[in-house]
Amino acid sequence: MTFCAACLPFNFSLLPQIIEPILHEQHPQRLLVLGTRLGEPSSFWSPVMVPTNGFIHVDIDPEVPGAAYPLAPTLSIHSEIKVFLKALLQHLPQRLNWSANSILPSLESYTNIPTNIPHENGLVRPNILIDAIQRVIVEKSDAVVMAEAGNSFAWATHLLRFQQPHRYRISTGVGAMGHAVTGVVGAALGRKGKAVAIVGDGAMLMNNEISTAVKFEIPAVWIVLNDGRYNMCAQGMALQGFKGVDTEIPMADFAMVARAMGGEGIRVHREPDIEAALEKAMASTVPFVVDVIIEPNQPAPIGSRIKSLISQGAKQ
């Protein structure tokens, strides 16, 4: 049996959590890999992901197959995926006797996201913010959306859904913070239009390019999940049993920073105010920062990653 880890209709942060039980139960001989590098955010480099006879890995980049699991048997196929699949389908029956739903469990069993009904009071919950980004930015514009390493990436990848290709950009090879807070300027310049970065306050403090965007009149938008801490580190290390780790940082006013640099900015404290702030940012012709004060204690969708890390020995 060969199982296909293709561009599945769910986000790859759930891939090991869904496929690992299948590998235990079905014992496939090989895994056909399409549309993923099998990097840490996709596979967590879990040894359970390696099937008996290894991988059949198709990628246009010849350096990708075998990179994630160098010791596993890998049949490397250097091809663009669409070309490969068209050629493959010529050798398969027109109708197969299985469907993805017959093999894959329901996604609902792997998601535990709270309700998306806004609260009048209290700090902004990340899922409410991402839900508003989906409605205002993803569905009502053609803007490129980037997500920064950290919980901002976890929330965005888990909840955003795009109908058009080439609109979502992340950099998770080594999870370096700073890719999106700076790259959004180049993305907006390259497409001569709006580009949006969903970032954390830690990355925004490290190296943003608001002043560059102001100088060259580039309409980049930063949406900052501002919780006064490196929260993927805080939540992840707490789940692993570490205590007393200092992950807090002084809470900066990034809207004020944007205005000080010649851009525009707005600070959001309440969930009912999110959509209006996003609409203002998308309508602006100058660089714009939406500084959102986030509830820091709502668990990010990183539990499956932490579980895998613990299973591999990363715990207190």
Mean pLDDT per 10-residue interval, the chain, length 316 residues: 38 53 73 86 79 93 93 94 91 64 45 65 94 97 95 91 91 78 96 96 93 97 96 83 88 97 97 97 97 93 72 66
Fold observed for domain 114-304? Rossmann fold (3.40.50)
pLDDT at 242: 84
Domain ranges of the chain: 2-109, 114-304
**pTM recorded for the entire structure:** 0.75
Judge whether 269 and 124 are in contact, CB under 8 Å: yes
Angle at 295 between CA 294 and CA 299, to 5 degrees: 115
Task: Give the pLDDT score at 244.
Answer: 82
Asked if 126 and 155 touch (Cβ cutoff 8 Å), the reply is yes
pLDDT at 20: 62
Within the chain, how many helices (H) and strands (E) appear? 13, 10
Q: How far is CA 149 from CA 68, 110, 180, 193, 204, in A?
A: 19, 22, 8, 23, 11
Closest CA to 258 of 279, 292, 286, 278: 286
pLDDT at 96: 58
Q: Which pair of structure tokens corresponds to residue 105?
A: 């469990």
Q: What is the dihedral of CA 8, 13, 15, 18, to 10 degrees?
A: -110
Phi, psi of 240 (to 5 degrees): -85, 0
Distance between CA atoms of residues 238 and 66, nearest Å: 33
User: Which pLDDT belongs to residue 11?
Assistant: 43
Per DSSP, the three-state class of 149 is coil
